[in-house]
Structures are given as C-alpha cells and as structure tokens.
A and B are shown apart, each in its own frame.
Chain A
Amino acid sequence: MSELRFDDRVAIVTGAGGGLGREHAMLLASLGAKVVVNDLGGGIAGGDGESSSPADAVVAEIKALGGEAVANYDSVTDGEKVVKTAIDTWGRVDIVINNAGILRDMSFKKMAQKDWDIVIAVHLQGAQSVSMAAWPYMLEAKFGRIVMTTSAAGIYGNFGQANYSAAKLGMVGLANTLSIEGASKNIKVNTIAPIAASRLTETVMPPDLLENLKPEYVSPLVAWLAHEDCEETKGLFEVGAGYVAKLRWQRTKGHAFCVKSAAITPDAVAAQWDKITDFDEAENPADINAALGPVLNAINNPSKGGNEFIDVDLAMAGEYTAENSYDERDLSIYALGIGAAEDPLDAKELAQVYEMSGDGFKAAATYAAMPAMNAMLEGAKTGKFSMPGLNYGFDRVLHGEQYTEIKQTLLPSATLSHTFSVKDIYDKAPNAVVIVAMSSKDENGNEVVYNEQTIFVRGAGGWGGDRGPSASANELPSRQPDQVVVEKVPLNQALLYRLSGDWNPLHADPNMAKAFGFDKPILHGMCTFGYVGRHIVSAFCDNDPRYLKSIKVRFAESVFPGETIETRLWKEGGKIIFESRVQERDLVVIRHAAAELFDELPKAIAKKVVKMPKVTSVDAPADAPEEEINDAIILADIFSALSSFIETRQNLIKEVGTVFQFDVSDPDSNWFIDLKNGEGSAANGLAEKADVTLALSADNLMGILTGKADAQKMFFSGDLKISGNMMASNKLTVLADLDPALVVAAKTERLANGAGATDVKATAVAPVVKVAPQAGTIFKALATKITKNKKVNAIIQFNVGSPDSTWTVDLAKGSVSEGDASGDANSDVVIDLEDKVLAQLVNGVDPAVLFQKGELSVSAGDVLLAHNIEFFEGVL
C-alpha cells in the first residue's frame, strides 16, 4: 500500500499546543504538510496566560524532525488572523483542523451567562471563524479539507456540560452544511468525536484509562480525513483507543396521521406512541431530501385515518388469501338450503340438486357467493383469517349488503382460490362501513366470481373520515312490477341452510335467538339472498340459473322461517330492479336491489395450454424424421391404435360388453368402439347397434381417449352429451391403459402410407403395429439368440418396471435368467428401464439415445458395459 503524503499542503491545526492538536500537527508535518500551529497558550481554563510557549514548543519539535511549521498565538475567534499566518507564510491553506477548545463545566443550575458565552465562542464561533476565513482560499483552489472536533457530550449529553454539549453539536451542524456548500469545489468537511487524554480530559479520567486513550490513536483518522484521496464528507466518527466508527442518523418508520380531519390530537399522538418510537423498520436518512421523504409522502398520500377499531390505510393495503373446493354435494345441499326443488318433479330445479339430471347438472346461481364467504368463516374459526387494520370483533358486525358477479358459469365441482381485500371504508359515525372485495379464481387463474360484502360495524366510526356515497341506488319504478314471485319459507329452512357453512347458533338455537332479542331463530340473510336469487331466475331466466350475471341486495330486516317472501321485480333496460318483503309482517327485507342477466352464457375460459416441446409430448421413436414428429396425431391414429390394443386384450370383450358410438363434431365424423361382438373393433363409421352414444367435439374425444380430459367433468359442463345406457359410459376408463407409443406408431404408419393429416375419414382402419411385448417374451427370445461373447465377460442385470420384473444376462455364458444375479457372479452393471423401453430396444432404438433421454438409467456398475444392450435389436 502506498503511503499517504501531504507534500505541498498547508494545514492549520487550532489548539495545537498540546494534546490532540499537537499530535495532529506532528503527524501532518511528518507526512510533508506545512503546519500552522495555533495555540493561545494556557491550561484547561484557557486564556489564563496567553504565553506563547506551547505553540513554539510544538513548532520547534516539528522543525527538529525536519518538518515545516509556524506558530500562531491568536484566539480562534479571530479566524482571519490565524489564516493570515498561513497565507503570509506559504500563500495558501488546504486543511483546517478545528480542534481548539476550553471547558467551563458546571450544572445548568449554577451556570452563568459568561460561562455559556465563552464556551460557545471558543468551540462554535472559533470553528466558524477559522473556517470562514479559510473558505475563500479553498473555493479558489477547488480543494479543501476541514475537520471539526465534536464530543460524545454533544452527541449524547453529559451532566455538567450544557454549554460544551451545545457548542459541540453546533459544530456538527456547521460541518453538515459546509460539506454541502463545498461539495462542488472538492471541499470535504467531516467531524470527529474523539476520546483521548488531553488537557480537557485529564481532570475527569483516571490515569490508567488515559494511558489507553493516547492522542496518537486519534490523529491517523484526522490525517486520512484531511487527505486528498479521502472522498468522505459530512461524516461523523467516534474515535479513541484505536477504535474508529462512523455514526449516522436513524429514524423509525413513524406514523402518518390523518390530517384531513381534525383527528390529529394529543391523544392521537399518544395512541400511536409505540409506533412512532419503534425502530424495528428504521431507515437512515442521509440528506435533507431523504429526511423530507416521509413528510412529502404524507402530503401526497394523506393518511385516511382510523381509530382503535379500524386503521384505514393498513386495512386498505392488506390482502388475505384462502382456497377451498366444492362439489355436487355442496351445491345440492346449498340449493336445498335456499328452497330449490321443493317440487322434486320440477325438472329445472331438480337439475340443481341431482347430479345425474338428464339436462345436465346446474349450480344454483347464488352459490357463487358461498365459496369465498365459507373460506372467510373457516379462516375466522381457525384464527387464520385476520385482515390487518380491522380490529373489531364479529359481535359488532352486520352484513349490510351483498354484491355477487358471476364471470364464468359455475362448474359442478371446482377448487377456487380467493383473494380478500378491503375496497373501501366509510366513517358513518358512530358506525363504520367496510366493503370487502373477494375475487375467486379457478386453478388456471381465471376469475370465476367477484363478490363484495358491505359490512356494517357498530360503534367503530367517528374518526372524521370519508362518509362515502349516500345516494340510494336502485330506486323502484313507480309502475306496477313486471313480475311478482311469492314463496313460503318452510319452518325448518334455517336448519337446512346452515349445513352450507354458516354455523351461527342464532339461526338454530331458540335460547340463543332469545338472547339476541328475537322470538325464535331467524333465517340467515344469505339464505334470503338465495331465495330472491331463485326468484329472479324463475321470473326472467326460465329457471336456468346459468343466466344470472350479477345480483346486489341490501339486507333491511330478518326473515323468520315460516314466513312468506314476496319479491316484486321490474325489468328496466338491461337491469332488473327488485324488492322483497315479508307478507305476514308487511315488512321490506331486501331493498335497493338489482340484478343483471347474461344475454348469452359466458364461455368457459379454456384451460391454459402449457407449451410443451413437441418432441416429448408423446413417446415418439427417436429416429423418426422430425417433420413426422411435429405432425399432429389425429383421431384415425387413436382408433387405429385402439384396434391393435383390443386385439391383444380380448378379455375386455367379456368384461365390458358394450358398443360405444361417438358422434363427433367440429369436424363432424362418426366412430365406434365395439367391445361386445366377436373379437371387438374400433373404427370409423356407425356401429350396427350401439349401447351408448356420446356426442362431443373431436378435441374432447381426443382428450378422453388420451387420458388428458375427464369425461365426467365434460359431461357436467355440457361438453359431452350421453344417450342410451349412461352408466355404460363409465366403462370407457378401461381404455386408459392404451399405450401412447401405439398411437405414435399408428401415426407413423399412416404418414408412411401417404395419408395426409387432414384426411380423417379416408384412413383405412387396420391393425398396424403389434402390441408391445412383455419383458418375458423379449428375454425368452433373447435367450434363444444370444451366444457366448468371448470378448465381453459381463453380467448385466435388468430391473424392469411396469410391470416389474428382474432379469440377468450373462454375456460370457450366453445365458438369460429371470431374477437378479446370484451367487459369486454378481452383476457388473444394473440397468433400470420400463417394460415399454425394452420394446424400443427391440425395435432398434439406440440405447445411447434412451440413456440421454433418461428412459434407461444405470443404477450401479460400469456404464460402458451397458453399451452391449444393443443385443436386443431384432430379437423378436
């Protein structure tokens, strides 16, 4: 490392007659600097002698060591004179070390004004005066280094040093601003807080401690800060006994109060005190811009306020997620819970509770509100659900409004993930209104339902926040309603409805109901919601729940089971306005309500296609030309493969005993699979007599036959229509065993025969490949063909999977046996592969290729010996 030098630099060190100042001056001079040694003389009390001896002594010492120095005896408050000495002697000043100081320690109680004044004068005004006199020279030279000397007393406070502490921290402020003003002229200003033995400390510290606090442990930092290589500026350093550290400011994350209202009171400050003083998420602002950041942020993004129940900013920033599933059973229980299918012979409502309904199962529309709400209730029950910033209990909560918007037709079963967030919070003092938004998405990330719950929170308002919109929406037209639906709620309806997830005893337990001031258990608000949803569907959708798009209601009063709900509905443009009342009590229970319908059903959003490299989407023979591989598999290939498959699985004829007919659309064609007559068949065209007919698109048939799609789901979503013996269609699952390799082989054969990819019907259906032989067949064939190999003395063990078997081939003996290598002759290499991979080896696929693809692995022994398994090629 190169030595830092100060040649040609002129430095002023104030208070350099002894202690730290002397040491700074000596060090700088020893490194080549020309030094003005300033000292008024005098001991700790300062000014009591004005003898020039301390400064002269240091100058003499420096000169004796070959350095250059000159003495100055002026007070630092006469900065011009101090600097003049430097200018007169060497014509420049590069470095100012503000070190001079005195003490007038006494408690504030005893301190006189003069004690204050003189300390401020020497430390703060002294530093200012010398720096100010040197400043023009530094600006002119575009170079300057100033070091201030502060103290732990200033930074942290110290008993009896009020004057000294104030002066010392004043110097830090001076340094901070000078560093900014000098930045463009390469003037760097830093501050040190030294602890060292000096005239200032010798009276307060014991000798053995002072021994460790030698001034020479401080000066190297001062010299570095004064050096031209040092880029540091505006720094504050603690230094002593060989320890050097940098200090900086730290600020808590703080709290931004809502200033729009009059909410920032002393009490509000007191309430946030923990947060204001919590350094957990602290930051370190280094300049005034950083310091102002949070304040500007508070101006630009004013806090919306809150109180002990609700922190609006926190609540609106929060998010909670949960996931749950439902199936036909949940849907059926729900539909019964909202009064559907009271008449079991009503086919339309039966479709909402009977999963095998001929017209296809349909979910009750208002079930769309349930999965997210159930996830929230479940979360609350297990303590997992908590929205930050919402700190009120369920006892304060009333469900005020419900808005449900259906984005996709509800499937008979689904797993949905829900995201809960707070959309708005209104202060309806003394109460509060919280609007929770819930978005429910399917497994592909497509939104299925959006719900909003408007929650009325008793006694949680009053922080002076936004009152929110007050205009009443969805006012009823003055004319007579277009439709009126009247329905009596059975007496046990709440008991049925609660099975869908809201277990609140208020709706079941007579005693609990009394405790809440009701004569008997009330119906769930959301059950009433379900009823009115059905009323809309029956009035305008020909009872097909899939056409309900959105519904919004305000809950006005509770309904008692056994009462009669009358819903009056008006069709106004694209919107349905409605209101529900209880006839018996002539009381409005649902008001400001509206619904929208779909003109046509929303198309189910296609499942995201995962782009898979084409080569590996099927088990293609590796040596097939690329253009063939990239070609699509068509139905003809599948039926061709099925035909081969059936030929080898004659047991299916007896087991299944069914003829399947497929009426395919898009493009239109007919196919059948006969697993009943003779040896069975699978082909293009119409079967003589089909047991079951399935109508579906070509893509969906491909999906079912290749195991990529679930026929049952397709059936429930209406993409598959089944006529005839519906139960027989379940037997199609036996085809899941179809080996994809057969399909690929069939396609390869088709292409080889010149049949184009689009020429679906022209393909002659005939068995084109033999079924993959079992390992036993292959190894037995190998046994008859393999001969002793004198060159290779190797025992190869094969662990075959699907179905599992183990085989050992001894090349030296030319033998093949089932089981692992036993006795003395342990195997030299162990090869793991699937049964079907054996067939590929037989067909001449290079084992190196299969190894590289990972279809054949070597679990033990010498990989090189595995090269020999080329012997499988053509053994059959």
Chain B
Amino acid sequence: MGNRVNVIGVGMTKFAKPGASKDYHEMAQEAGLLALKDAGIGYNEIQQAYAGYVYGDSTCGQRAVYELGITGIPVINVNNNCSTGSTALYLARQAIEGGLAECVLAIGFEKMEKGALGTKYNDRESPMGMHIPVMMDVQGFNNAPPAAQMFGGAGREHRWKYGTKKETFAKISSKARVHAANNPYAMFRELLTVEEVLASPEVFDPLTRFGCCPPTCGAGAAILCSDAFAEKHGIKNPVYIAAQSMATDVPSSFDEKSMIKMVGFDMTKNAANDVYEKSGLGPEDIQVIELHDCFSANELITYEALGLCPEGEAEKFIWDEDNTYGGKFVTNPSGGLLSKGHPLGATGLAQCTELVWQLRGTADKRQVEGARVALQHNLGLGGACVVTMYRRD
C-alpha cells in the first residue's frame, strides 16, 4: 500500500460550445486558479503537473500551466482519447501514492472543433484500426459519425438481446437534462422530455441527436496531495481516492463480434472490479456516480458493466429511476457528457470536480443526500477506461 492520496482542490470552467470559449491556455488557467484557490495553496507548492488534452500540438500542457506560474517543475503531457483527463489524474495519483511527490496538479483542457469527432491523421494506421473492422463485420459502415455508429451499434445489440426500447435510451438523455438544469457549469440546461428526445433527428438508430454528447470546449483541474502535505497546510478531512484502476482492451473487444464488447464493456468491468477489490467497497456502498455518457447507449451498458444492475436489466433500472435522486444511485448529477458537454481532455477532471463537491456537501441544488462514497468512470475508445472511487470520512 502506498500513501493515501487526497484531492484538496478542484475547479472547472463553464463548458462552452466550440467558438464560444477562451483559448485553451486561458481556460486551463481559469480551472487551475480555481483549484489552487480551492486548495488554499499557491502554485509554487505544485511539484509536478500532468496536463491532458487530445487536440493540439505537443507541449500545450506547458503553455497552459505556465499561465499559473513558471516554476520549472516537470510537466507531462497526457493524451488518451476521451479518458485523457482521468489518465492525467491517474498519473498524478501514482506520483503521490508512490511517495514521489507531495503535491501534484492534474489538469485537462480541450478546444474542440464543430461537428462530430473525426480523424486528423489519414496517412497512417488508425488507432481504431482493430476496432473498426469489428464494426464493419457486425454492421457495416454508413455516413453517421463513426463514434455514433459504434456506441449506437452497442445500443442496437442491447435492444435485440434484451428487448430494450428506444424510449429507454431517450429516458437517459431526459434524466441528464433534469440534472444539468441545476448545474451552472453545464452547456445544455433546458429540460427535454422523452418524446422530444425521440423526435430529434435520428443519428444512428437507436440514437437521436439528443442521445449524443456535443463537441465542447472547457478545462478542469484537480490538486492531489499526501496526508503530510494536507496536514502541513491545515487541510482537515479532505476527499481522498479510495482506489483507482485503469484498464485497456482485452481480446473480447475484438473476438466476440459484439459491439457492446468492442466499445469497451469488459474494460469498464475489469477496471470497476479492480477498484471494488482494492477498496473493499462494492456498488452497494456508492451513492453518487459520474460515468461516461458520451452517448445514451453507453450510459445504459455502463450501468451493467459497473455492476449497478445485473446484465440485461438496465432497462428496468432506468424506469425504476434507480439512476436519479430518490433511487439507488444518482448517476451523472452534473448532467454528464450529454448535457454538460464533453471537452475530451477536461471531462475526467470535470467528473472529479463534481464528485469532490458532492462528497464535501457543497454541490448546491445537485447535492446527493448522504454522499460518502463516489465513483468515477471515464472511457476512451482505442481504448482506455479509468475507474476511480472517492471517499470522505
């Protein structure tokens, strides 16, 4: 066992659509300063920084944290697709847990372009070079955004296998808006009914437009430290990381001709089980969850992968409203990626920010009553999945 890792400061910008945000380094500065202020420390206390982003030339991380101070510390740029933010967090956690540093910054930012995700480098093997053929084999390829085809395909598979209704997917999007309505940092805060979600233009059956997260610009930051550091700075009873795990693809992603598996069901399952084992806590101990709802279909299959409900029973879980206030868990109180937005590099840190607020009891109208244990799930195709369990005593 290494050192306990505390999350003593968090901060994020309000998420914005492409073109409506500040530049990446300014967004990072805003999130970073908020996290420093939240922790009550100066930037000169930061010994290392892990900076996550997907789109941008190399060493944007330095340019971003230089807005906070030019102190000559190690700055590591992190790129891990949609799980970039939590990968930065993962590395920062390792540094503290391993006793290599006392106080570390994990920061993530993204300045995205309009439109669906695409590839930037077409002169070389795609990072999805092993995933795409699975999809081609199972369902072909059409003009819809590739990510929507993949996660939508997983939704289709769930429909056929378990008889899941299209309304069920829409219900997730509708719930996300109910939660986001109370989140001033979220991009979309207007309520949507299940009917409105279903009536929006179809992207890839069963996904309609409101079943897909939007391209987003934003930044998030978290400051992690050791017990000794927290004590020295008089920080009492901080939120800490009870366990954290990262998983990448296993053979089932490619071998089983299953879209659910291809989009990382088993990555999630492996990372979650590892976290449950390390922490000695199970799903039943958790009150609040931020999970990777890049598409409503992924939130649905993730309920099962995280073990919040048995496999094949996500539909019942959703209609029993066990995913919102008053139910067994509150999933994505922030509005999730669907409503809050999904700036790839920032998402993992925005999830962390929300959960730290929840555990401190400072989440305002979104506060989940009695939140003591929180779970974060952040997944990127390609692939990587980081699951983190937070506690506050």
Contacts and interface: CB of A to CB of B under 8 A. Distances in A.
B142 A857 contact: no
B362 interface: no
A551 B141 CA distance: 48
A852 B139 contact: yes
Contacts of B163: 862-865
Interface string A840-876: 0000000011011110011000111111000000000
23 contacts: A2-B40, A2-B233, A2-B234, A3-B234, A229-B41, A231-B42, A231-B43, A231-B44, A613-B136, A613-B140, A615-B140, A616-B136, A848-B160, A849-B138, A851-B156, A851-B160, A852-B153, A852-B157, A852-B259, A854-B205, A863-B159, A863-B164, A863-B165
A612 B159 CA distance: 27
B367 to A, nearest CB: 20
Contacts of A848: 160
A230 interface: yes
A726 B239 CA distance: 83
B137 interface: yes
A9 B255 CA distance: 67
A1 interface: yes
Interface in A1-28: 1-3
Q: Give the size category of A's interface with B.
A: 20 to 34
A79 B323 CA distance: 68
A864 B164 CA distance: 8
Contact of A853 (B68, B139, B162, B234): B139
Contacts of B139: 852-854
A27 B15 CA distance: 39
B315 to A, nearest CB: 10
Task: Return the 9 tightest CB-CB contacts between A and B, nearest first.
Answer: A229-B42, A864-B163, A616-B140, A1-B40, A613-B141, A863-B163, A2-B234, A852-B139, A2-B40
Contact of B137 (A1, A615, A865): A615
B69 interface: yes
A863 B160 contact: yes
A851 B206 CA distance: 11
Contacts of B164: 863
Interface string B144-171: 0000000001001101101111000000
Contacts of A858: 159
Interface string B198-221: 000000110000000000000000
Interface of A: 1-3, 228-231, 612-613, 615-616, 848-849, 851-854, 857-858, 862-867
Contacts of B165: 863
Contact of B69 (A231, A612, A849, A854): A231
Nearest to B40: A1
Of B69, B138, B141, B160, most A-chain CB atoms within 10 Å:
B160
A867 B162 CA distance: 11
Contacts of B136: 613, 615-616
Contacts of B142: 616, 854
Interface string B30-44: 000000000011111
Given A2-B235, A229-B44, A863-B164, 9 more contacts: A231-B42, A231-B43, A231-B44, A616-B136, A851-B156, A851-B159, A851-B160, A853-B139, A854-B139
**Which of B137, B163, B259 has the most chain A CB atoms inside 10 A of its CB?**
B163
Interface string B56-93: 00000000000011000000000000000000000000
Nearest to B42: A229
Contacts of A854: 139, 142, 156, 204-205
A574 B164 CA distance: 73
Contacts of A863: 159-160, 163-165
Nearest to A616: B140
Given A2-B235, A852-B259, A863-B165, A616 B141 contact: yes
A230 B42 contact: yes
Given A613-B141, A615-B136, A615-B141, A864 B44 contact: no
With a 10 A CB-CB cut-off, give which of B68, B140, B235, B259 has the most chain A CB atoms: B140
A275 B259 CA distance: 58
B275 to A, nearest CB: 30
A852 B260 CA distance: 12
Interface string B214-232: 0000000000000000000
Contacts of B153: 852
Contacts of B69: 231
A864 B162 contact: yes
Interface centre among B42, B139, B159 (most CB of A within 10 A): B139
A863 B140 CA distance: 21
Contacts of B157: 852
A578 B136 CA distance: 61
A863 B162 CA distance: 8
A858 B69 CA distance: 57
Nearest to B259: A852
B15 to A, nearest CB: 24
Contacts of A616: 136, 140-142
Contacts of B42: 228-231
A866 B235 CA distance: 59
A613 B233 CA distance: 59
A3 B159 CA distance: 56
Contacts of B159: 851, 858, 863
Given A3-B234, A615-B136, A852 B141 contact: no
Contacts of A231: 42-44, 68-69
A2 B9 CA distance: 12
A852 B235 contact: no
A854 B202 CA distance: 12
A326 to B, nearest CB: 30
A338 B233 CA distance: 89
A867 B160 CA distance: 8
Contacts of B233: 2
A612 B140 CA distance: 10
A857 B202 CA distance: 13
A2 B162 contact: no
A631 B286 CA distance: 53
B71 to A, nearest CB: 9
Contacts of B156: 851-852, 854
Contacts of B43: 231
Contact of A852 (B41, B68, B138): B138
